[in-house]
Structure 1
Amino acid sequence: MTATAKNFRVNGLVQGVGFRPTVYRIAAALNLTGYVWNDAAGVGVHLEGDPEALAAFPETLIREKPPLARIDVITPEDAPFEGCEAFTITESRSEGPVVTAITADAATCRACLEDVFTAGNRRHRYAFTNCTHCGPRFTITKSLPYDRPQTSMRVFPMCPACLKEYEDPLDRRFHAQPNACPVCGPQLTLLSITGEAIPGDPVRETVRLLKEGRTVAVKGLGGFHLAVIANDAAAVARLRDRKGRSEKPLAVMCANLASAATFAQVNDAERELMLSPAHPIVLLKKRPDAPAWPGVADGLTEIGVMLPYTPLHALLFHALAGEPEGTAWLEDAVIPEALVMTSANPGGEPLVIDNDEAMRRLAHIADAVLLHNREILLRNDDSVVRVAEEGPLWVRRARGAVPESIVMPDVPGMDEASRPSVLAYGPWMKETLCQTRGGEAFLSQHIGDLENRTVVHAMKEGAEHLARILAKAPDAFACDAHPDFASTHEAERRAVESGLPLVKVPHHAAHVAAVAAEAGMTGRVLGLALDGVGLGPDGTPWGGELLALEPDHFTRLGHLAPLALPGGDRAARECWRVGAALMDAVGLADRIGEVFPETPEARQIPKLAKIERLSPRTTSLGRRFDAVTAVLGFVTVQQDEAWAAMRLEAEAQKAADAMGLADFGAFPYWPDAWQIHADGVLDMTTLDRRLVEGRLAGEDPAKLALLWQTTLTHALADWAVKLCGNDPAGAHIVLSGGCVVNRTLADGLPRLMRLRGIDAVLPHRAPPGDGGVALGQAWIALRALALGRTDYDFKA
């Protein structure tokens, strides 16, 4: 058969992941000649040979693509026959606009772990072993192109053995930019917190210190962890005290899934996530017979668990296990010790990434520091995921997921090439950034709450880094409509200095838009926005909204009945304030003293609540969670954000477990405990009064928590369906806002809506909470700019 030629253009995450060697091997297997190259758009392939083999190439490539690659599209086109005698990997080409990107940091692959734990291998016990299928990417890269001189590996020239691997297209380390070995690569050092070198093997000495109850700061991929042994209650308590983290749970790392199964229940979806290249922290349900581990996740039914994702982590567990021979222990051995691995960021500050910074900022927390001399160029915290019935919900999207893009839907009036690049600056809490490029949105790593200058500086650094790795300066900006956010101020400053347009987006419209953008929804979008507090266009704090989004404006179809917020922002911390306000709202103010006997000032809340200047009205569902948690006596003052809501959820789960109820469909609820008014207001006075009466009557608070959560879910579903069921866009309703992470809402709302013929759309790539807001801002800004506008209207 006559040989012919074709070119194939491959777009997606196809650089720095071993893609060209894979093409090389496939071409050899199909007996094809030609060449493959990288360029600004992705990967190009020229193939010559049997037409049937050419036709088989795309399907084979999709089936055999490298583990870290993502193929978005393969575009074939006819090409002139050049008479190539072999297949070669050619030099990269630089022409054209950059449309490729860096892949996320990836957990160590099994092949590299085999190298680390095989005696006699030249990388035996080497903590920086990696290949094209794993290892650091995003956090060590300064800018494109993704070549070693643009990474923090530039200061480590490869030895001849590593260089040979790097240049061999049949080696899995071909063009692995972080490639290194003990001869030429980074090295570990263990220091006391005062800076003295601790003699001996750094890994073994670290484990010795941990077993003695010490806190060790351990340098990872995107920053430092603070580590203690999880079952050492005194060490955990000391860590909490030093870090100033009194309530929120601590994540743990365990050696493998076999070890995790001894204290947590792991289903198939959770197992898949834990073993994925991202290796995030996954929220798992504790086993009934789980060890207590005081101070780790007290009062909760779930625990955040991750597996080792660097060779260093694996080496620590290897030492904890007594350094067994071979690699079977990586999967099969039950190692009882788990390590608390919490982010090294004192008091709301950014994550520590620099060695000198670690010695300075962690001096009052850690007893020793296990560091290395490979620079972290960008801080990137651990991702946190909860698996709901509908799929994963990202609580925090960072390491392992960033900077992978989210493909956006079409924008009428703009093709991808003409779309401006919008940089959205996000909200105030759980800050992330988002920059668009063509048809993709790149959501940044979790940055934190913008409550001090150091976090604001980290936000500015993040914006600069996004522009560098995308090789694209922004053409427009977007931000929250709140006038006092540091993110708003920075977006305003840059817009003024550059003369570029700025679109300000109301907080809850951005919540709904984020899910719509991820889901590829266009036109009119209906959605629930359920969160703590965000400024509404009317100047009041919103947080329980039913909205309809159009390209140029949004409408408030309904909201939760307002509740007084006595003391304003103080009520977010002092939950008893909204608890007493709830009792006042349901006509039981005279019994506030019975529920809050240790807080005498709670009796004054009804008077304070009448003064709207001191007690703004909020529609926030998050504050209602706080109020109910306080009334039931679980939390009256919370030091850490969302702690009250976590406790309420946990107590409800305990009740369900005690009653033998494993599925939302079996959970009891109070029917007819809510009203939907003609103006679209969801009034839950009956539900809240029944809750308070049950508490006063001495009913089991955990059962009341379960009843309230389940009934709330039925009420929200009923409300959304009745107000949107006849809407032309009502076949789909977006679920957004931080409250959606609540398992009862995440599992129950889609199920109840589906029973009525409506599809509830949850986000599975971006967080439903404030960590996804920047994506919604960017999407709304693009739609507004396509209409020649720089505003996004609200119509009451």
Structure 2
Amino acid sequence: MMERYRIRIKGIVQGVGFRPFVYQLAKRHGLAGWVSNTSQGVLIEAEGEKEELTAFVQALSREAPPQAVVKSVNWESHPPADFCDFTIRESIKKEGQFVLISPDIATCAECLIELFDPADRRYRYPFINCTNCGPRFTIIEEIPYDRASTTMKNFTMCPQCQAEYDNPMSRRFHAQPNACPRCGPTLILQAPDGYAFTTDPIKTVVHLLKKGHILAIKGLGGFHLACDATNDQAVTALRTRKHRYAKPLALMFPDLETIKKHCRVSSAEAEALSSSRRPIVLLKDRGTGVISGQVAPGQRYQGAMLPYTPLHHLLLEESKMILIMTSGNISEEPIATDNLEALKRLEGIADYFLLHDRDIYARYDDSVVRVIEGQEVLVRRSRGYAPYPLSLPFSSTETLACGAELKNTFCLTKENYAFLSQHIGDLENWETFQHFENTLKLYQRLFRIKPSLVAYDLHPDYLSTKYALNLEGVQKIGIQHHHAHVVSCMMENGLKDRVIGVACDGTGYGVDGTIWGCEFLLADWKDFERQGHLLYIPMPGGALAIQRPYRMALGYLYQLFPDRFEALRQEFFGKTDPEEARLVRLQIDKNLNSPLTSSCGRLFDVASALLGVRLVSEYEGQAACELEMVADEKTEESYPFEIKEDEDRLVIDPTLTISAIMDEVRKGKKKDLIAGAFHNTVAEFITETCLRLRRDSRIDRVVLSGGVFQNVHLVTKLKQRLEREGFQVFTHRLVPTNDGGISLGQAVIANAKLGIAR
């Protein structure tokens, strides 16, 4: 009996070789009909014997191409239409419908073989790609994903490339970036004065890098700044010119074997490094001394990645170097994407520019992950991950969640999808805010989203908040920062019912107008009750206390030990300006720009300053990060603390902890042991607070979220303690635990408050 099935497939099924896969599968099962891309996914009409149709439908998801993600396969039976053959039809565009878009994909093994094969017509062609690899999201201007809707539309394919593109049996069938040296993008090596080199650009770049020069190199989602990672002088020059004086720089290694020589690599870390996403992976440094100490000062980790574009492979194969590959920008600005933009903005940083003429439509930073307890955990979610959405267990209203200020992402929801943007950056300058606006417009266009609901952080000075409040014709809901942290973690772990949420970070605007940052919430998607927090301490100078941890330490000393303040200041911070200490006292006494904070991040800053690890921070979180790096991971010692009750709330008082640290410093105890004991103390007071909350609430699920939990040493110790006490502990994996994951929580809470998310 002959039947005809109309089959609709949703998921990442465009730009990943899905139509030729369907074509070949249909031929194998002797089916007639057609397949087409639509604005919603892939549509198939297949006609044949019922047994073959059944097998065909089952194989659509079971045998899908490696980069495809099949979310659903729905079919319905119709009378035969007497198709003669199976064909691939032109794309069908329908107003208001959308399709999931693939992230950019690292160069596949088959293309690499061709890249280094002297007999292949694409030998050493830096833009080789196929349906299984190459740019996707960064070149898409509109959907359906056809060449005319990408930045490749200006390149007319030569007859050979066109033949591949039109052949359903070819690996390059409808590979939209398909090109070769005859018809595709080209490299241009240029000096800042406009001089263009006529020699082989790859060989010339390698020569310049070995000479110690800094190169701006155009990649998939923007420019990298590259130099020899083993050359102290080159790395120092890059830091100085980029105004990035201390923050670690990412490294690109030629191969996995070279990484293993310099870093400790587990099997899970090797898998992350080698995946098609090719993120930066944070790895423990072996201390070989080959890599410049200026790459990651004060760290035990290196941010390592493998080549992920043909251009990278050519540079690393030619040079066998370990290269700095850091974002092409001045510190805190968005990465440069356009040739003219790069020549202007990176002038004075780069000695030479390796450009190409394929435009980048979407700005796209490298993603950063680390492996904790054998699982990949996202630190920065961008290239290779976004714009792939997270699934929602409810059908949402179309929502925009504007995110936080630092490490900003936004989140757009539609139906059962949450589209979390790639990493935008810190919304502290106009350039990054423009990146936020432009990327938001792109997502709204690609995914056909017109938000009627907007969620925003309660902090009145955040640019993301101001943007939300200036929107017209939408419903607006303010979301408390730490509630959003907790719900983002609940969402990705499939939790709906109430949990004990522990949100620890540096700064979050509280409903009482203070700066929260060590919060114990009984929370569900809709509401929360604040059940505990760290003792309030003034932040003298506000943001200045974040930049200068010793100032925060002075605030602690003056609040906790007012009668001994001057003696303690001279003992621990005698080299700091006494006039500044006088101003600190004045600011606290007069309540001048000294907001109260319960921040756990600030407590880490204080410990770091008291130990002399970091008095002044060059980048956000540096003091706490370096304290983790010096901490002894084996010590089981800890320091005393008190948990008091204040208006039905638990308040953690660290006075005894600070006193104990100062006593240990006086005795000359090693910094690593004190730092290790401090980490244990934080793990213990969090565990003890959770135990007290469980007695009354009978809740045994603990959710951990916030930037403090990027600290692997702390998270490991804390999970051990909580699980030993019988708690179920949930942490982040799919979205960052830092502020990069907050927008997801905002979107869910906003829908819950309207009764949509239940």
The answer as to whether partners of 1:393 and 1:741 remain within 8 angstroms in 2 is no
SS in 1 for 2:393: coil
RMSD: 2.2
Match of 1:692 in 2: 662
Q: 2:554 aligns with which of 580, 588, 591?
A: 580
Are the aligned partners of 1:283 and 1:303 in contact in 2 as well (CA < 8 Å)? yes
1:379-404 C-alpha deviation (Å, 9 max, x unpaired):
11111112112733222111111101
The match for 2:605 among 621, 626, 636 is 626
**Native 8 Å contact 2:202 2:315 kept in 1:** yes
State the Cα distance separating 1:580 from its structure 2 match. Answer: 2.6
Aligned with 1:527: secondary structure? strand
1:61 shift after superposition: 3.2
Q: Which amino acid aligns with 1:771?
A: G
Distance 1:399 1:787, change over 3 A: closer
Which residue does 2:467 correspond to in 1?
Answer: 490
Matches within 5 A, 1:175-194: 175-194=174-193
Q: How does 1:376-775 map onto structure 2 within 5 Å?
A: 376-389=360-373, 391-410=375-394, 416=395, 419-494=396-471, 496=472, 499-587=473-561, 589=565, 590-601=567-578, 604=582, 605=584, 608-652=587-631, 655-656=632-633, 661=634, 667-670=635-638, 673-675=641-643, 677=645, 679-724=649-694, 726-727=696-697, 730-775=699-744
Amino acid at match of 2:465: T
Quick check: 522-531 or 293-302, which moved more? 522-531
> How far apart, in 1, do the equivalents of 2:598 and 2:151 lie?
48
In the aligned structure 1, how far is the partner of 2:189 from the partner of 2:522? 56
Any idea what SS the aligned residue of 1:421 has? strand
Tell me if structure 2 keeps the 8 A contact 1:593–1:603.
Answer: no
Measured in 1, the distance between the counterparts of 2:31 and 2:713 equals 55
1:698 is aligned with what amino acid? G
Any idea what the Cα deviations from partners look like across 1:347-396, whole Å, max 9, x if unmatched? 32221111111111111111000000011112111111121127332221
Contact in 2 for aligned 1:482/1:535 (Cα 8 Å) = yes
- Structure 2 residue corresponding to 1:354, chosen from 306, 321, 338: 338
Q: What is the DSSP-based 3-state SS (H/G/I as helix, E as strand, rest coil) of the residue aligned with 2:680?
A: helix
Residue in 2 aligned with 1:375? 359
Residues 283 and 787 (structure 1 numbering): CA distance in 2 closer, same or farther, change over 3 Å?
closer
Gaps of 5+ in 2: none
Letter in 1 for 2:704: L
**Structure-2 residue corresponding to 1:334:** none
2:397 match: secondary structure: coil
Residue identity matched to 1:318: E
Give the stretch that moved more between structures: 267-276 or 93-102.
93-102
Q: Is the 8 A contact 2:125 2:180 kept in 1?
A: yes
SS of 2:697's partner is coil
Give 1:87's aligned residue.
86
Deviations 1:747-780 (A, max 9, x none): 2333332333322221222111111111111111
Secondary structure of the corresponding residue to residue 283 of structure 2: strand
TM-score (norm 1): 0.90
Q: Percent identity?
A: 40
Equivalences, count: 751
CA drift of 1:53 comes to 4.0
Task: Assess if the C-alpha contact under 8 Å between 2:639 and 2:678 holds in 1.
Answer: no
SS in 2 for 1:270: helix
Q: Could you tell me whether the CA contact under 8 Å between 2:39 and 2:143 is conserved in 1?
A: no
CA contact (8 A) 1:152 1:376 kept: yes
In the alignment, the residues of structure 2 paired with residue 37 and residue 687 of structure 1 have an alpha-carbon distance, to the nearest angstrom, of: 66
Write the mapping of 1:159-174 to structure 2, written as runs, cut at 5 A.
159-174=158-173
CA contact (8 A) 1:583 1:689 kept: no
Maintained 8 Å contact 1:545/1:558:
yes
Instruction: Extract unaligned runs of 5+ from structure 1.
Output: 322-336, 411-415, 662-666, 789-796
SS in 2 for 1:439: strand
Task: State the Cα distance separating 1:551 from its structure 2 match.
Answer: 4.9
Compare 422-431 and 245-254 and name the one that shifted more: 422-431
Residue 553 of structure 1, CA deviation: 3.1
In structure 2, relative to structure 1, the CA distance for the partners of 1:476 and 1:371 (3 Å cut) is: same
Does the aligned pair in 2 maintain the 1:725–1:731 contact within 8 Å?
no
> C-alpha deviations, 1:48-98, integer Å up to 9, x for none?
445444444454333322122111222343343344454332333234642
Q: AA paired with 1:651?
A: V
Q: 104-113 or 501-510, which moves further after superposition? A: 501-510
Q: Give the secondary-structure state (helix, strand or coil) at the position aligned to 1:504.
A: strand
Partner of 2:279: 280
Distance 1:55 1:290, change over 3 A: farther
- 8 A contact 1:264–1:287 mirrored in 2: yes
Asked whether the equivalents of residues 216 and 367 of structure 1 are also in contact (C-alpha less than 8 Å), the reply is: yes
Work out whether residues 389 and 746 of structure 1, in 8 Å CA contact, stay in contact via their aligned partners in 2.
Answer: no
What is the rounded CA distance, in whole Å, between the counterparts of 1:787 and 1:421 in structure 2?
11
Q: Specify the alignment match of 1:327 in structure 2.
A: none
Aligned to 1:408, what secondary structure does the other structure show?
Answer: strand
Relative to structure 2, which stretch is displaced further, 630-639 or 712-721? 712-721
* Residues 637 and 22 of structure 1, relative CA distance in 2, 3 Å threshold: same
**C-alpha distance in 2, partners of 1:370/1:125?**
16
Q: How does 1:26-45 map to 2 (within 5 A)?
A: 26-45=25-44
Deviation at 1:480, TM superposition (A): 1.2
Mapped pair 1:229 → 2:228: yes
Partner Cα separation in structure 2 for residue 268 and residue 773 of structure 1: 30
In structure 2, the partner of 1:328 is none
- Structure 1 residue matching 2:261: 3-state secondary structure: coil
Q: Decide whether the 8 Å contact of 2:487 with 2:524 is kept in 1.
A: no
Report the residue type matching 1:732 in the other structure.
R
Q: 1:742 corresponds to which letter in structure 2?
A: N
Q: Aligned partners of 2:456, 2:97: CA distance in 1, in Å?
A: 26
For 1:439, the aligned partner's letter is: N
Which stretch shows the higher mean deviation, 710-719 or 174-183?
710-719
For 2:158 and 2:401, the matched residues in 1 are separated by 43
Contact 2:38 2:144 (8 Å CA) reproduced: no
Secondary structure at the counterpart of residue 239 of structure 1: helix
The answer to whether the 8 Å contact 1:4/1:50 transfers is: yes
* Structure-1 separation of matches of 2:756 and 2:355: 52
Contact 1:262-1:290 at 8 Å conserved across structures: no
Q: Distance in 2 between matches of 1:765 and 1:561?
A: 32
Equivalence map 1:111-260=2 (5 Å): 111-260=110-259
Distance 2:289 2:66 in 1: 34
The aligned amino acid for 1:705 is: A
User: What amino acid is the match of 1:649?
Assistant: E
| In structure 2, C-alpha distance between the alignment counterparts of 1:56 and 1:307, rounded to whole Å | 39
CA distance in 1, matches of 2:291, 2:144: 49
Secondary structure of the residue that 1:261 maps to in structure 2? Answer: helix
The answer to whether the 8 Å contact 2:400/2:412 transfers is yes
Q: Is the 8 A contact 1:386 1:395 kept in 2?
A: yes
| Aligned-partner residue type, residue 274 of structure 1 | L
Residues 450 and 486, structure 1, Cα contact 8 Å, conserved in 2:
yes
Quick one: which amino acid aligns to residue 513 of structure 1? V
Could you say what secondary structure the match of 1:382 adopts? Answer: coil
CA displacement at 1:673 relative to structure 2: 4.1
Local SS of the residue matching 2:504: strand
